[in-house]
Homo-oligomer: A and B are copies of this chain.
Amino acid sequence: MKTIVVDMMGSDHGTAATIEGIKLFLKRNDDVKLILVGNPEELAPLQAVGEIVASSEIVPMEAGAMEVIRMKKSSMLVAINTMIERNADAIVSAGSTGGFLSAATLKLKLIEGVERAALMSPFPTAIRGKKAVVLDIGANNENNPTQIVQFAKMGSIFAKKIYGLELPKVFLLSNGSEEKKGSPELKEAHQLLKAEAYPGFMGNVEAREALNGVADVIVSGGFAGNIFLKGCEGIFVLMNNLIKTAFKRNIFTKIGYLLSKGGFDDLKTSLNYKTYGGAMLLGVNGVVVKAHGSSDGFSFSYALEVALKMARADVVNLIKEGLNDASGQ
Contacts and interface: CB of A to CB of B under 8 A. Distances in A.
Interface in A212-242: 212, 220, 222-224, 226-239, 241-242
Interface stretch (A18-26, A266-274, A295-303, A310-318): A266-274
Contact of A249 (B206, B210, B237, B266): B266
A230 B208 contact: yes
A234 B208 contact: yes
A283 interface: no
A246 interface: yes
A138 interface: yes
Contact of A183 (B124, B223, B257, B271): B223
A4 B68 CA distance: 60
Nearest to A209: B234
A11 to B, nearest CB: 19
B207 A234 contact: yes
Interface string A236-265: 111101110111111011011111111110
A100 B265 CA distance: 44
A142 interface: yes
Given A142-B184, A246-B263, A267-B246, A208 B231 contact: yes
A87 interface: no
A280 to B, nearest CB: 18
Contact of A245 (B141, B250, B267): B267
A99 interface: no
A259 B235 CA distance: 25
A176 to B, nearest CB: 8
A184 B141 contact: yes
Interface in A120-166: 124-126, 138, 141-142
Interface residues on A, range: 35 or more
A182 interface: yes
Nearest to A137: B175
Please classify the interface of chain A as helix (H, G, I), strand (E, B), loop, or mixed, using the class held by over half of its residues. Answer: helix
B206 A230 contact: yes
A133 to B, nearest CB: 15
A264 B253 CA distance: 9
A177 to B, nearest CB: 10
Given A234-B208, A235-B235, A255-B259, A246 B222 contact: no
A52 interface: no
A173 interface: yes
B224 A237 contact: no
A232 B230 contact: no
A182 B141 contact: yes
B235 A211 contact: yes
A283 to B, nearest CB: 18
Interface string A32-72: 00000000000000000000000000000000000000000
Contact of A222 (B175, B247, B259): B175
Given A209-B234, A252-B260, 12 more contacts: A126-B241, A183-B223, A211-B235, A227-B228, A227-B231, A228-B228, A236-B239, A243-B243, A243-B267, A247-B260, A253-B262, A256-B263
